[in-house]
Chain A
Amino acid sequence: MAKILDKQRYKCALAAMQTVQAIDRACPVLHSGPGCAQKLSDTTGSSGYLSPQIFPCTSINEKDVVFGGVKKLESTIANALKVIDADLYVVLTGCIPEIVGDDVADVVSKFSDAEKPVVFAPTAGFKGNNYKGHEQVVEAIVTQYLKKSDDKQKGLVNIWADVPYQDLFWLGNIRELENLLTEIGLTPNTIFGYQRGIENINKIPHAEFNLLVSPWVGLKNMKTMEKTLGIPYLHYPVLPVGATETGKFLREVGKFANIDEGKVEAVIKKHEDYFYYLISRYADLFLENRVINKQFSVVADAQYSLAITKFLVNDLGLTPAKQFVTDDTPKEYQEAIKAEFNNLNFGIKADVAFETDGFKIHEAIKEHDYHGYPLVLGGYYEKELTEKLKGNFLNISWPVLDKVVFDDFYVGYTGGIRLIEDIYTVAVQRFN
Chain B
Amino acid sequence: MAINLNNSNVAVRENRIGSITGYIGSLKDLAEKSQCGTLKGCARCFSQSSTCLSLCGLSQLAGIRDVAIIHHGPSGCSVTSSTSYYMSKVMSKKRGVTSDTVYVGTDMNEKDTIFGSTEALRKIILETYKRYKPKAIFVSSSCATGIIGEDIDSIVDDVKDEIEVPVVAVHCEGFKSKIWATGFDISDHAVMQSIVQKPRPGVKTNKINFKNFFESARPEIIEMFKQFDLDPVFLYCNSTVEELSHLSESLATTCICGTLGNYLGNALEEKYGVPYVRSINQCGIIGFETWLREIGKVTHREDKIEKYIQEQRAIYLPKIEEVKKELTGLTAVLGMGPGYTFEVSRVLNELGIKVVWALAWHYDKKYENGDVPPSMKYLLDNDIDFETSVADQQNYEVMNILNKYKPDMYLSRHPGSTVWAIKNGTPAIYVADEYMIFGYKHTLEFANAILDTVRNRSFEENLAKRTKLPYTQWWYEQKVDKFFEEAK
Contact = CB atoms under 8 A, between A and B. Distances in A.
Contact of A36 (B49, B111, B124, B419): B49
A168 interface: no
B48 to A, nearest CB: 5
A129 B52 CA distance: 19
Contact of A401 (B55, B86, B106, B393): B86
B53 A6 contact: no
Nearest to A65: B175
Interface stretch (A77-85, A184-192, A197-205, A263-271): A77-85
Nearest to B123: A4
B48 A384 contact: no
Contacts of A3: 106-107, 120, 124
B416 interface: yes
Interface string B135-149: 000000011100110
Nearest to B176: A62
A125 B393 contact: no
Contacts of A50: 470
Main secondary structure of the interface of A (DSSP, over half): mixed
Nearest to A63: B488
Contact of B76 (A36, A61, A380, A399): A36
B175 A96 contact: yes
A129 B77 CA distance: 11
Given A4-B104, A7-B85, A56-B46, A12 B109 contact: no
B178 interface: yes
Interface in A115-173: 124-129
B194 interface: no
B274 interface: no
Contacts of A82: 472, 474-475
Contact of A79 (B46, B78, B79, B180): B46
A35 B475 contact: no
A193 interface: no
Interface stretch (B67-75, B252-260, B308-316): B67-75
Contacts of A57: 47-50
A20 to B, nearest CB: 13
B162 interface: no
B45 interface: yes
Contacts of A125: 73-77, 108, 144
Interface stretch (A40-48, A216-224, A337-345): A40-48
A10 B75 contact: yes
B417 A2 contact: no
B128 interface: yes
A81 to B, nearest CB: 9
Interface string B412-428: 00111101100000000
Contacts of B86: 380, 399, 401
B108 A83 contact: no
A35 B177 CA distance: 11
Contacts of A61: 175-178
Contacts of B112: 1-2, 126
A372 B79 CA distance: 34
A127 B79 contact: no
Contacts, number: 245
A46, A57, A95, most chain B CB atoms within 10 A: A95
B161 to A, nearest CB: 21
A61 B420 CA distance: 27
B127 A4 contact: yes
B89 interface: yes
A13 B175 CA distance: 19
B113 interface: yes
Given A4-B127, A12-B74, A75 B45 contact: yes
Contacts of B381: none
B55 A35 contact: yes
B282 interface: no
B117 A52 contact: no
B113 A54 contact: no
Nearest to A379: B82
Interface residues on A, range: 35 or more
Interface residues of B, number: 73
Given A11-B76, A34-B392, A59 B47 contact: yes
A8 B81 contact: yes
B468 interface: yes
Given A2-B72, A34-B52, A126-B110, A95 B45 contact: no
A54 B395 contact: yes
B121 interface: yes
B284 interface: no
B212 interface: no
A37 interface: yes
Contacts of A95: 73-74, 113, 142-144, 147
Contact of A126 (B74, B127, B417, B475): B74
A68 to B, nearest CB: 12
A5 B109 CA distance: 12
Contacts of A41: 416
A30 interface: yes
B131 A46 contact: no
A72 interface: yes
Contacts of B102: 6
Nearest to A34: B50
Given A76-B46, A80-B46, A5 B392 contact: no
A381 interface: yes
Contacts of A328: 107
A36 B78 contact: no
A61 B175 CA distance: 4
Contacts of A43: 83, 415
Contact of B79 (A12, A47, A59, A126): A12
B76 A38 contact: no
Contacts of A194: none
A328 to B, nearest CB: 8
B373 interface: no
A15 interface: yes
A27 B120 CA distance: 37
Given A56-B47, A75-B45, A35 B120 contact: no
A5 B85 contact: no
Contacts of A13: 76
Contacts of A236: none
Contacts of B49: 30, 32, 34-38, 52-57, 59
A360 to B, nearest CB: 10
A1, A11, A13, A82, most chain B CB atoms within 10 A: A1
A96 B396 CA distance: 25
B105 A5 contact: yes
B46 A75 contact: yes
B475 A83 contact: yes
A361 interface: no
Nearest to A47: B419
Contacts of A404: none
Interface in A273-327: none
A140 B379 CA distance: 52
B50 A59 contact: yes
Closest 5 CB pairs of A and B: A35-B52, A12-B76, A125-B74, A79-B46, A5-B105
Given A2-B124, A34-B50, A38-B50, 19 more contacts: A1-B109, A1-B112, A2-B117, A4-B107, A5-B107, A8-B105, A32-B49, A34-B51, A34-B392, A35-B55, A37-B49, A38-B51, A38-B416, A43-B83, A54-B395, A56-B48, A59-B392, A95-B113, A399-B82
23 contacts: A4-B128, A8-B81, A8-B105, A12-B74, A12-B77, A33-B143, A33-B174, A35-B50, A38-B416, A39-B55, A53-B395, A56-B46, A58-B47, A59-B392, A85-B468, A95-B142, A99-B113, A125-B74, A125-B75, A125-B108, A381-B85, A383-B89, A384-B89
